[in-house]
Amino acid sequence: MSVLLTLCVVLLPLATPGQGARRWEPCTDLRPLDILAEAVPPDGSARGISVTRVQGALGLQLSAAAPHAISFPASRIFVRCDLFPEEFSIVVTLKPPSLPPKKNEYLFSVVAEGPDALLLGLRYSPSRLHFLFLREDAAGAWQTRVSFRSPALMDSQWHTLVLAVSEDSFSLTMDCGVPVDITADVPFPATLSMQGARFFIGSRRRTKGLFTGLVRQLVLLPGSDATAQLCPCRNADIVLSIPPVLQGLTGRPADNEVLKYPYETNMKVTLGSQPPCTKVEDAQFWFDAGQKGLYLCVGSEWVSVLAAKEKLDYVEEYQSLHTNSETLGLEVFIIPETGLFMATANRKTTSAIYKWVDGKFVAYQDIPTQQAQSWRHFTIGRKVFLAVANFDPNEKGQEFSVIYKWSQRKRRFTPYQRVPTHSARDWEAFEVAGEHFLAVANHREGDNHNINSVIYKWNPTTRLFEPNQTIATCGAYDWEFFTVGPYSFLVVANAFNGTSTKVQSHLYVWLLGSFQLFQSFLTCGAADWEVFRIGDRVFLAVANSHSYDVEMQVQNDSYVINSVIYELNVSAQMFVKFQEITTCSALDWEFFSVGEDYFLVVANSFDGNTFLVNSIIYRWQGYEGFVAVHSLPTFGCRDWEAFRTAAGSYLVYSSAKEPLSRVLRLRTG
């Protein structure tokens, strides 16, 4: 600001009335210049953008198909002269995506039209925010970069950044926190010309470096530090100016959000056991000291306004469940008005169903099976079904899997339909456009692993499942169905092609009445896919079990390999590698949550020497990904299931090497 004030003093005599001089005006108005509003029409109809609401706030999502569509000439805002202000603030509100190491994305840039030279830009990486500008002197021109550490950006939350620049002083404030100040060796130029330049939002006029997150605000404020005008305020509400298309309510505050700044009011808080909630107590508070919760009387109900956050403290063994034989798969499910059940897929000729009674699983029903691999529970209307994947043929050499239906009268599952299968490993039940489907993972036919797996469709007339589509698979082990917006996906875990476990597993998308190939992943003996969501982010985790090729010698460490977590990149329209985790012949992933924390547990089965290996619970740590927090002794662990009752949260795992499954209780505090 000092340079502008000095300039005003020097030019003041020239602007004195009566002396015939034109009144001096600064290069730009000292008002917020909404860069987003300049680039985006009021109705948001520009090509290459979409409006998305996340956590109550509206933001713009850019498309990789049109990286330079959101741009405008600099002359539109630099109307009096073509010099960029020497002192200014840049305010940006964004929800950054998670980026792999060494990846950079541009929030905005100013590029010279002719030589494609970057005059000015703001970009970020997983650990830093970089401000770039072009500096010229008699020796020539070079690009200068000022970098700030920003490890807290990629936590799936909205953030507002204020970058204030004055000569060689650069200051970054995030979410009205403590500013980070840097004094650079090279000052920002006093005469950075914008003549013939162009602003690009979320890019540098090319697809590489395209911003894949959400942006809500991008404002240039000449001549001052904008922090004083903005703070204090909530992250998504720190606003100087936003485009008309993004204006509107930002939604209610996050659940149980504590007010960050003091307010005073007269209120009454009742302590002790729960009091009545009537018109007399309306708008009064009750604090439950035992549960550490604060409640507000609204009408006739106590509504929770502040509750202690549930945290996972440790895991304890709760029940040892002796099974008919080794258990290869588990399925926990609820039958309405009947209770919680668990089906075990047992190696020998009898599998079992258990019911949760008085806080324990107790034997409920035995079902004949042929080396059952897994169960799948599903419903069609009010009908309740269980499908078992049989690996072996029966005593007559017939190979089929069986769908069972719950009999409300008998209170038992009864055989409903036999389905021809080939060493079936898994069933997946799903619904698309109101129609019901079952997909079977056929593992092999004789010694041939390269066979078709089948998708069956429910015929409401015959009330049977009928073949609808075949998909070529290689030693298929697992199917996983999920949806993203209006799109339906089905991913298969291919484990072995007859010579190698290093094969492509495929992701299919539902188009025009059938599943079409969408993306392929190189996997190593893939045994399981797990899809899960954290906020608005979608992840796919694959359990890789074994790295083997007929031409290589057997090595013990070929079981200790990386399993992979992928994340959906909406802009790129594909899943990209997010994290690799070392596992020991992993056979299953299970995702679960406790309070506001998210977890993944892996079934480690064999390390090349012993089946007595630890399975690991990983906790979601934001930009760090999943971090190991609990190590659980397991023996030939095959499958994990998470479930919850009124008494708490539990995990149960099965062993493929002993007739014993174990229920673990998640202790919270």
pLDDT, tens digit, for every residue of 577-612?
999 999 999 999 999 999 889 999 999 999 999 999
Q: Which of 141, 118, 140 is nearest to 131 (CA)?
A: 118
Contact (CB, 8 A) for 502 and 522: yes
d(CA 7, CA 188): 18
Strand, coil or helix: 336: coil
d(CA 618, CA 551): 35
Decide: residue 585, CB within 10 A, 0-12 exposed, 13-18 middle, 19+ buried.
buried
Q: Which alpha helices (H) appear in 501-550, and where do they start and end?
A: none
Residues in the chain predicted with pLDDT less than 70, given as ranges, are: 1-30, 43-48, 64-69, 114-116, 151-152, 224, 232-238, 248-268, 289-292, 306-311, 553-557, 669
Q: Which of 39, 38, 195 is nearest to 112 (CA)?
A: 195
Residue type, 139: A
Angle at 174 between CA 198 and CA 620, to 5 degrees: 110
Categorise residue 279: left if φ over 0, alpha if ψ from -120 to 50, beta otherwise: alpha
Has this prediction a pTM greater than 0.85? no
So what's the pLDDT on residue 21?
37
d(CA 469, CA 457): 9
Q: Which of 644, 611, 614, 641 is nearest to 629 (CA)?
A: 614
Contact (CB, 8 A) for 3 and 10: no
So what's the pLDDT on residue 309?
61
So what's the pLDDT on residue 124?
86
So what's the pLDDT on residue 19?
39
Residue type, 438: L
So what's the pLDDT on residue 557?
59
Cβ-based neighbours of 459, under 8 Å, separated by 6 or more: 465, 466
The two three-digit tokens of residue 221, written as one number: 């404020």
Q: Which of 652, 618, 615 is nearest to 636 (CA)?
A: 615
Q: Which of 327, 317, 424, 322 is nearest to 636 (CA)?
A: 327
So what's the pLDDT on residue 265?
44
- Measured over the CA atoms of residue 643, residue 644, residue 648 and residue 649, the dihedral's sign is positive
Beta strand 180-183 pairing with 118-124: unpaired
The two three-digit tokens of residue 162, written as one number: 């204020």
Give the C-alpha distances (Å, rounded to integers) separating 334 from 264, 356, 378, 590, 594. Answer: 48, 10, 10, 18, 20
The two three-digit tokens of residue 12, written as one number: 């003041």
So what's the pLDDT on residue 286?
80
Contact (CB, 8 A) for 133 and 144: yes
So what's the pLDDT on residue 4?
38
Cβ-based neighbours of 482, under 8 Å, separated by 6 or more: 488, 489, 491, 531, 538
The two three-digit tokens of residue 77, written as one number: 């805002």
Question: Tokens 């939604």 — which residue?
Answer: 251
